[in-house]
Amino acid sequence: MFAYILKRILYTIPILFGVSLIVFVLFHLVGGDPTYQMVGKHSKAEQIAQLRHELGLDQSLPMQYLHYVKQIVTFDYGRSYATKQPIGEMISRGAGPSLILAIPAFIITTIAALLIALVSAYYRGRFIDKFVLISCVIGMSAPSLAYILFGQYVLAYKFGIFPISGFEAGFPEALSYVAMPAFIWLVVSMGADVRFFRNAILEETNQDYVRTARSKGLEEKVVYFKHVLKNSMIPIVTYVVIEIPFLLLGAFLLESFFGIPGLGSMTIDAINSSDFPVLKAMTTVNSILFILGTLATDILYTLVDPRVSFK
């Protein structure tokens, strides 16, 4: 297992290099020269030259790329064009509210979806299974914006159960502000999660070892919870772990509509203001987290199924 993990870690090094190169080229081509946007149309050539020197844009592309790699290693992405604040500090401040919203919602949604999927697969073809599937389709059909508007108007404005928007740091003050966005997250994500988990479980029920276990006289509950669930964990682990890197960005719509100062709302503000350093930093961080999530998935495979080997 140690050799397997070591090889997977070594394989991530060229992937990280390739991702950093793609992100650098993409933003260099799309972003263009930001100095004209920052100093205005009527600026002098001396001002433009001085700003280009301060931003390092007068250097060659290889030197700019090495500076970008240094930013990744040191987590120092410079300053935002819009707010003039250090981007690393902006990300650190925004990560807290995003994770306060995302982690509880993600954990509760995953556990609830897995339990519902088990029950649905156990009663396959019966009323409970059909009710779960129909509910999932209905829940997936409605757009996220509809749930947000319903929650704000009915639950917050009419009944006053939750605050309409805002955020307050600290525990338990933050709970009242993230409760309704977390509930909407659960409702929006539940349908797709349940359907995927249910299909993964049902694929295992047709395997030979399940028929063998049933022929030995094992109870159906034992077959499902002891054998089927354990062997269906590889696709489930893949699905769950791959979603983890995206938790840092939170939910763009949820953070924006509910006034949560997280990374999602920060990214939307950067898009609206064409703040390319912030967008490049968020793209880089999310790419790295996705690669690390894939690495964690491969490592977890060996824990779920010891037969997995590196090839």
The whole-number pLDDT of residue 311 equals 52
The whole-number pLDDT of residue 129 equals 92
Backbone angles phi, psi at 86, to 5 degrees: -60, 130
Query: Within the chain, which residues score under 70 in pLDDT?
Result: 1, 30-34, 36-43, 246, 248-250, 304-311
pTM of the entire structure? 0.80
Which DSSP category does 167 fall into? -
* Residue pair 151/142 in contact by the 8 Å Cβ criterion: no
- Domains, the chain, with CATH or none: 87-304 (1.10.3720.10)
Question: Using CB atoms within 10 A of its CB, is residue 300 exposed (0-12), middle (13-18) or buried (19+)?
Answer: middle
Rounded to whole angstroms, the Cα distance separating 264 from 95 reads: 9
**Residue length of the chain:** 311
The whole-number pLDDT of residue 134 equals 93
